[in-house]
Amino acid sequence: MFDLDRWTELADGLRTNPVRTLLTALGVFWGMFMLVVMLGFGDGLERGATRSMAGYATNAVYLWGGRTTLPWGGLAPGRYVGFDNSDTEALRQLPGVEHVAPRNQLGGWREGNNVVRGAKTGNYTVMGDVAELAHILAPIVVRGRFLDPLDVAERRKVAVLGDQVVQELFPYGEDPIGQHVAIRGIQFKVVGWIRSHANDDRSDRDNATIHLPFTTFQRTFGFGDRVGWFALTGAKDVPGSELEASVRRELGGRHQVNPEDNNAIGAFNAEKEFAKITALFTGIRFFVWFVGVMTLAAGVVGVSNILLIVVRERTKEFGLRRALGATPTDVVGMVVQEAIVLTAVAGYAGLVAGVVVLEIAARLIGTDHATMGTPTVDLGAALGAGLVLLIGGALAGVIPARHAAAIQPVVALHAE
């Protein structure tokens, strides 16, 4: 393979018919180009989807109280299930649970303006939250900090504002930290300014939210010890569905709910969503590889066909070489090498062209497009494609090479 002579022989062979060589190479080039570009855009889509979910812990579970539909322990159906602070403590003790964030919400929809700062007013979602929520929401802290455990323990009158809230209530360039906002007429000191990681309508909602310490919220707005709903995450190796089941069991037991009753406690489990999206992209990936490899295979078949013609045309030459001492293996080697080189060079050119196109596309798309992330091809995929190509090249050479090896010098030399 590293014998210079073989390479000069090869170059001679390819040079004799450059147009044909080029056309043959084009098939493989195109296959590789398509594969790379499709992989790149598939990757970009996946990246976009993943980014829109960023900031949401993958095994987060959300639970809220509903209405019972089945009788249990002598209690008639139709009862409302409400959570309170004791539930929070119970869930914190539950094995497999990592972070528990009880949440309460004030007004929101159709409430009218509820927040005032100087001359400006706005209608925002006001939440009572604990410091642990940061593990579930994972916000970007623009300035200041998120709520901390002391805020909650000491019932401080502080607030963390979402990005949109800051933009609307504070003039551009003014630092909101240390300022006060009035929520339902009660003054809160701003300690943090956060922004959502995500890139969809959920992020808009998050950015229009004000977070107050949970305890402060309960006391100030008269919630007593009620808890609106729970957001919680499991330990690393606990899947969301398992976590949901065990938390449901615990809360169901504490509130006399029929274990069969799925409506009494509502739950949302992000794992299912993630699984759906993961499956979708596994499908897309498979499709891309399938189409790409098939296109590449078509190119390889093209190479094989051309080489068959080449072998036929060079019958006399192969016969002569055999007469002069070339073994059948030598001849097979020549043809297979030609096939591999042809596919490798064309494929590499396709790879490079594909990467160039992806780079240009990445520039055009930019980094903050909602659904399309930066298209890229990772090294593994490129190496995989390269391997497919080498195998394809060798396969392309096999059939023509066998024809070449079967050439009898006698027949070849007398074919005038």
Partner 1 sequence: MIRLEKLNKSYPMADAPVHVLRDLDLFVAEGEYAAIMGSSGSGKSTLLNVLGLLDRYDSGSYTLGDTLIRDVSEREAARLRNQYIGFVFQSFHLLPFKTATENVALPLYYAGVPRRRRNELALQMLERVGLRERADHLPNQLSGGQKQRVAIARALVTKPRLVLADEPTGALDSQTSNDIMDLLASVNADGMTVLVVTHEHDVAAKMRRVIHLVDGRIASDRIQVPS
Return residues touching partner 1 (CB under 8 A): 4-5, 12, 15-16, 316-317, 320-330, 408-410, 413-414, 416
For partner 1, the closer CB: 13 or 55: 13
Could you tell me how many helices (H) and strands (E) the chain has, helices first? 14, 14
Tell me if 266 sits within 8 A of 83, measured CB to CB: no
At 93, list the tokens.
């003790």
Other beta carbons less than 10 A from residue 387's beta carbon: 10
Residue 19 CB, nearest approach to partner 1 (Å): 16
Q: 319-325 — which CB contacts under 8 Å span 24+ positions? A: 319/407, 319/408, 319/409, 319/410, 319/411, 319/412, 319/413, 319/415, 320/409, 320/412, 320/413, 322/407, 322/409, 322/412, 323/409, 323/413
**Residue closer to partner 1, measured from CB, 67 or 414:** 414
| Minimum gap (Å) between residue 31 Cβ and partner 1 | 30
The answer to whether 196 and 139 have CB atoms below 8 angstroms apart is yes
Closest distance to partner 1 from the beta carbon of 328 (Å): 5
Q: 35 near 385, Cβ under 8 Å?
A: yes
Dihedral sign for Cα atoms in the order 129, 133, 139, 142: positive
**Which is nearer to partner 1, 228 or 409 (by Cβ)?**
409
Under a CB-based contact definition with an 8 Å cutoff, are residues 83 and 98 in contact?
no
Based on CB atoms, which residue is closest to partner 1, 12 or 174?
12
Minimum separation from the CB atom of position 10 to partner 1 (A): 12
Q: How many Cβ atoms sit within 10 Å of the Cβ of residue 275?
A: 15
Nearer to partner 1, 22 or 150 (CB): 22
- The minimum distance between CB 22 and partner 1, in angstroms, equals 18
Q: At what angle do helices 328-365 and 315-323 cross, to 10 degrees?
A: 130
**CB neighbourhood size of 175 (10 A):** 12
Structure tokens at 16: 């004799």
Distance of alpha carbon 143 from alpha carbon 55, whole angstroms: 18
Task: State in angstroms the smallest separation of the CB of 318 from partner 1.
Answer: 11
CB of 415 to partner 1, least distance (A): 10
Q: Cβ 324 to partner 1, closest distance in Å?
A: 4
Question: Residue 53 or 326: which CB sits closer to partner 1?
Answer: 326
Q: How far is the CB of 11 from partner 1 (least distance, A)?
A: 9
User: 82: which DSSP letter?
Assistant: -
Q: Closer to partner 1 at the Cβ: 291 or 413?
A: 413
Output b/e per residue, 299-310; b: 16+ Cβ within 10 A. bbebbbebbbeb
Minimum gap (Å) between residue 12 Cβ and partner 1: 5
Q: Which amino acid is at 117?
A: R
What is the residue whose two structure tokens read 């916000």?
Answer: 139
Q: Which is nearer to partner 1, 117 or 314 (CB)?
A: 314
Give 122 or 328: the residue with its C-beta nearer to partner 1.
Answer: 328
Looking at the Cβ atoms of 161 and 331, the one nearer to partner 1 is 331
Does residue 325 come out as left (phi exceeding 0), alpha (psi in the -120 to 50 range) or beta? left
